[in-house]
Chains A and B, each alone.
Chain A
Amino acid sequence: MIEVQNLVKKYGEVTAVKGITFSAEPGQVTGFLGPNGAGKTTTMRILTGFMPPTAGTARVAGYDVFDKSLEVRRRVGYLAESVPLYRDMTARDYLMYIGEIRGIKRPRPRADEVLERVGLASRAGSRIRTLSKGMRQRVGLAQALIHNPPVLILDEPTIGLDPLQVLELRQLVSDLGRDHTVLFSTHILSEAEQVCDKVVIINRGEIIAAGNPNDLRASLERGARVLVRADAPAGALRELVAGVKGVQSAEIGMNGVVATPASADRDPRSEIVQAVVQKNWKLTEIRPLAINLEDIFLEVTRRQAQDADAPQSAEAEAGS
């Protein structure tokens, strides 16, 4: 539904997006993940037809975003990051306005329908300026849903919400993902892991990893550093772990001993378990350090930094 190929966007001298390629399929929530300034919003603005790419192509619902911009816009619902709304309008009037511009025949009942959907039916007649941040976010989402588009592009929809609101919104996005193509950006990595069927990690305008969050985790667990805790003196445990086959080095960290595997495709956990058990120590915990996307992200960026500037940064990170 969304196919992006070698997409480049330059703002004058600055290249915000450096030739990215990814896709998003129907019936899935695709997480677009990265720190602030990574190029997420720029990419989304290109996908919504708001601005053209400098190079490369992007197709949404089968139409090129540049050549067939209006066709794309008909099929995309977009929630912009800052949730821009007309504060002097009521929620219903605003949705009717957008609906009418979109050519919806009966905008009023449709506006009420989507307000119901996002749980704002009781505030339909309230001016937007009197609504809370969370409610405004929902008005913005209702706006994106008004024409029941096959593709939804949501730019950081959970930003600035309280924890309960965040949970509700994530639930809604998951629901929508069942019969829409949803591209959902966030810089909160655990969020992407909860909501998304697939994640695309972007940093400084480049995709650094993409795939199913579980697969990503599995591939990163191989070669990831391992945390070991046991009922034993820290120094002795470190020495033992460091001596295990497949372990390159071991340091004493905050919660236990951190072992760095000898190579990137090596998981030394079973060897470590064996060694500890042979010593008759009680093993209390052993797990890869990368257990959520947050860690995956750190690992991937750490590896990138390692590739870029020699071994130093790896030393600095060790034992954290």
Chain B
Amino acid sequence: MTDTPMNHHEQIDHVVETGVALPFWTVFKREFSAYFRSPVAYGIAFAVLLFLGVLFNGYITYANQSQQTPADSTYAPGLLVFLLFLIAPLLTMRLIAEESREGTLEVLMTLPMHEGQFILGKFLAAWGYFTVLLLLTVVYHLILLTIGVPDLGAAFGSYLGAWLYGGAVIAITMIWSAVTEDQIVAAFLGAATILVLYLAEIAASWVASQGAVGGIADFIRELGLQAHFGVTLSRGILRLEDVLYFVFMIVAALFITTRIVEIRRWRA
């Protein structure tokens, strides 16, 4: 503390002009740019693109040889959606856990901002990063356009679906980052939750095969993620109920996260 002495105070104690604050936007800007400063985010992008690239290469080689497989633009977003059970926890694990462990949450929660704004900003940042990742895979669609005639409706549906799907999965995994201060635990629990929701369809068929009342199996299927993507959006079938399902999942998960942060703060 020896560089310069602390100065006298008259010069700074003037009225500080304030305007309309948009805390969620401020939080979003910081978190979103943080992804592009962190090696983890580049690592995820690299791994995903490499994985998709290799599989896509094999796919079009095969499609070329067989002369029968249509150019399918839903291939890349479909794969990305599957990979989300790994990607989303990595993107969200630190969002709240780190702030909570470092104590920076305490400062934020004494600022004139509702928890919801803070959670929303964090969520949008992670979703924004995922959006960038998804847009990068548009390159596969462009390649398909040069070598075939892909179904544009299916392409649009699957990209929109993957985007909403990503939002829901990111919002859900973020809950765990609010529950525990341990990022690794948050990531594991997040991955497990998403796998369960991904595999709900299998669980539903099993329940149905056990002779349970039809309604239960249907309910489990509808609760799962794939029922709203795999057979509808990813084939270009745009159903309002699927879009509403993802929007509902996002809103519900953000609400739960907000409540958890609030409750943890009250007990701190």
Please list the residues of chain A having a beta carbon within 8 angstroms of any beta carbon in chain B: 11, 45, 48-52, 70-71, 73-74, 76, 78, 80, 82, 84-86, 88, 97-98, 100-106, 110, 113-114, 116-123, 132, 134-135, 137-138, 143, 145-148, 161-162, 164-165, 168, 171-172, 175-176, 178-179
Contacts and interface: CB of A to CB of B under 8 A. Distances in A.
A105 B4 CA distance: 28
Given A84-B106, A117-B9, A179-B13, A101 B3 contact: no
A49 B106 CA distance: 10
Contacts of B23: 101
Contacts of A74: 112
B192 interface: no
B6 A50 contact: no
Nearest to A147: B16
Majority secondary structure, B binding face: loop
Interface in B2-23: 2-9, 11-21, 23
Interface residues on B, range: 35 or more
Contact of B21 (A78, A102, A146): A102
Contacts of A82: 103
Interface of B: 1-9, 11-21, 23, 26-27, 30, 34, 37, 102-114, 265-268
Closest 3 pairs between A and B when the two form their complex, measured CB to CB: A103-B21, A84-B103, A134-B1
A112 to B, nearest CB: 10
B37 A88 contact: yes
A78 B19 contact: no
A103 B20 contact: yes
A175 B8 contact: yes
Given A48-B110, A176-B9, 8 more contacts: A49-B110, A51-B265, A70-B112, A106-B17, A113-B11, A117-B7, A119-B3, A175-B9
B19 A105 contact: yes
B5 A50 contact: no
